[in-house]
Amino acid sequence: MNRKEKAKKIGNILDGLYKKTPIPLDHTSDYTLLVAVMLSAQTTDKKVNQVTPSLFEKANTPEKMSKLDTDTIQNLIKEIGLAPTKAKNLKKMADQIMSAGGLQPKWDFLESLAGVGHKTASVVMSQWYNIPAFPVDTHIHRLASRWGLSNGKNVEKTEKDLKKIWDKHLWNKRHLQIIFFGREHCPARNHDLAKCIICSWAATKKRIKAESKINN
């Protein structure tokens, strides 16, 4: 079974499990989605969703965020990882957006913002602006390697490989489906690949044996 055939079978399973793909981060606009995704680095979506209501109550637009001082922002997000750095980035990002006259659905613009990398930009482009993108997080990178869809050397290579095996119109939902599957059915540790509904046939025998040794 080649990668494309494997991807089609995996896609059918994911479509059966996840007919709807809601964005796990609470937001009401392109800006609040951008902020939520940026904050999600090195922490969980659940924790971000606990923090953002109070943050967005005070600053749900770049204009409002730019008027807050860094200490105030940090205090509002103090429960999540890397809060000092993220507070500085939120302040700077708001100023950058204001200087540009507002958020722009352009790759170069989004990736130039403080604290925003390619993955964060990809989420906003795909989930708010509906522009095809395939954001690769740790779940996707790990599962793509497990399933033999990519060699797993780095996230950039994984993104390129996944874009080749799934049609562009599937990218926006497929990346969320893989994240959901990783969280619910395919954890990084103590996972029996031989019993997994995808890993059991998608992973190589060598990979199944190797992970079995790690877990035992």
Instruction: Assess whether pLDDT exceeds 80 at residue 144.
Output: yes
Is 162:136 a contact under the CB 8 Å cutoff? yes
Is 68:58 a contact under the CB 8 Å cutoff? yes
How far is Cα 177 from Cα 7, in angstroms, rounded to an integer? Answer: 13
How far is Cα 115 from Cα 104, in angstroms, rounded to an integer? Answer: 16
Mean pLDDT of the chain: 94
Catalytic-labelled residue, pool 9, 64, 137, 163: 137
Q: What is the mean pLDDT of residues 104-128?
A: 96
Structure confidence by residue, pLDDT tens digits, 53-105: 999 999 999 999 999 999 999 999 999 989 999 999 999 999 999 999 999 99
Is 140:63 a contact under the CB 8 Å cutoff? no
Task: Name the band, by pLDDT with cuts 50, 70 and 90, for residue 186.
Answer: very high
Helices (H), the chain: 3-17, 30-39, 45-58, 62-67, 70-76, 83-99, 107-112, 118-127, 138-146, 155-165, 171-184, 199-202, 205-215
Task: Name the band, by pLDDT with cuts 50, 70 and 90, for residue 210.
Answer: confident
Structure confidence by residue, pLDDT tens digits, 19-57: 999 999 999 999 999 999 999 998 999 999 999 999 999
Known active-site residue 137:
yes
Domains annotated on the chain, with CATH: 3-20+134-215 (1.10.1670.10), 30-127 (1.10.340.30)
Percent of the chain predicted with pLDDT > 70:
99
pTM score, two decimals?
0.90
How far is Cα 76 from Cα 117, in angstroms, rounded to an integer? Answer: 23
How far is Cα 27 from Cα 5, in angstroms, rounded to an integer? Answer: 36
pLDDT at site 216: 59
Known active-site residue 69:
no
More confident residue, 23 or 209: 23
Q: What is the mean pLDDT of residues 190-206?
A: 91
pLDDT at site 137: 87
Catalytic-labelled residue, pool 119, 157, 167, 168: 119
